[in-house]
Structure 1
Amino acid sequence: MQIEATTVEDYISKIPEERQEIIRQMIDVINTNLPKGFENITSYGMLGWAVPLKDYPAGYHCAPGTPLPFINLASQKNFIALYHMGIYAKPDLLDWFVEEYPKHSKRKLDMGKSCIRFKKMDDIPLDLIAELCQKMTAKDWINCYESNYKR
C-alpha cells in the first residue's frame, strides 16, 4: 500500500489515526539514532532515509538519479513495515538482529529479506530499532552497496 505524500507530516496525516503516534515515535527513534549522512525523504509511497545525491552522485542503480535508499518506513494494510537495506545486504547484521529480537519483543519475528513487519502497535521494540540504526554509517552503507549491488 503506497501513500502519495510529499512530506513526513503529509504521510502521517494519511495513515490511520491509531498508527500515527507509533509512526511518529519510530521516526524520532530513527532520526535520533541514524548516523549523519542520511537524509529523510518520501519515496516509493513510504517515508525513507537515504544517502543524498550530493554525497553519492551515482545514486540508486534501480532508479538512476535518485538517492541511495537505506531505510523505509510504511503503514501497510495489516502492519507497519520497516525496510532496512543493511539487514538485506549484510548477513552478520541480519544474524545480530534475529538473535537480539527475542530479547526486545514477546512476539515472533515476522520479516522478509529487508522488511520487518509489526502487526501489534504496542509491541514495537523501539530500543532495538535504535540499536539497529546505529550499526551502519552512510559511508559503510555506500561501501556495502557498491560491493554487493553496483554493476
Structure 2
Amino acid sequence: MQSTAATPDDYMNTLPNDRKEVMSKLRQVINDNLPEGFEEKMAYGMMGWVVPKSTYPAGYHCDPKLALPFLNIASQKNFVALYHMGMYSDPKLLEWFTSEFPKHAKFKLDMGKSCVRFKKMDDIPYTLIAELVSKMTPQNWIDRYETALLRK
C-alpha cells in the first residue's frame, strides 16, 4: 500500500492509531541510530532514508533525479515492513541479522530479499533494529552500491 503523503509527518498523520504508535517508535529508533548523513523523506510511497543528492549527485541509477534510496518503513495491510538495502547487498550483514534475530524476537523471522515483515506489533525487536541501522554509513552504502553497479 503506497501512500500519497508528501512528507514523513503527513504519512504518520494518516496512520490508524494502533499503527501510529509502532511506526513512531520505529521511526525514532531509526533516526536515533542511523549514522549522520542520511536524509529522511518520502520515497516510493513509504517513509524512507536516502543518501541525499548533495552527498551523491549521481543519484539512483534507475532514475538519476532521485536520491539514492537506503532504508524504508511502511505500514502495510497485515504487517509493518522494514526495507534495508544494506542487507540485500551485504551478505555478512544479512548473516549477522538473521543469526541475531532469534535472540531478540519470540517469533520466526519473516523476510524477503531486503524486506523484514513484522506481523506482531508488540514484539518488534527495536534494539536489534537500532543496531542494524547503525552498521552502515552513507559512504559504506555508496561503496556497496557502486560495486554492485560495476558488476552489471
TM-score, with structure 2 as normaliser: 0.97
1:140 aligns with 2:140: yes
Q: Which moved more, 1:59-68 or 1:116-125?
A: 59-68
2:134 is the counterpart of 1:131: no
Q: Which amino acid aligns with 2:101?
A: Y
Indicate the RMSD between aligned Cα atoms, in angstroms: 0.9
Matched, 1:25 2:41: no
Give the 4+ runs in structure 1 shifted more than 6 A.
none
d(CA) in 1 for partners of 2:76 and 2:92? 28
Written as runs of structure 1 = structure 2, the 5 A alignment for 1:2-151 is: 2-149=2-149
Point out where structure 1 has 5 or more consecutive residues left out of the alignment. none
Q: Distance in 2 between matches of 1:78 and 1:106?
A: 18
How many residue pairs match? The answer is 151
2:32 maps to amino acid: T
Measured after TM superposition, the shift of residue 149 of structure 1 is 2.7
Structure 2, unaligned stretches of length 5 or more? none
TM-score (norm 1): 0.97
Deviations 1:56-79 (A, max 9, x none): 000011122111000000001110
Give the CA deviation at 1:96: 0.2
Q: Distance in 2 between matches of 1:53 and 1:38?
A: 10
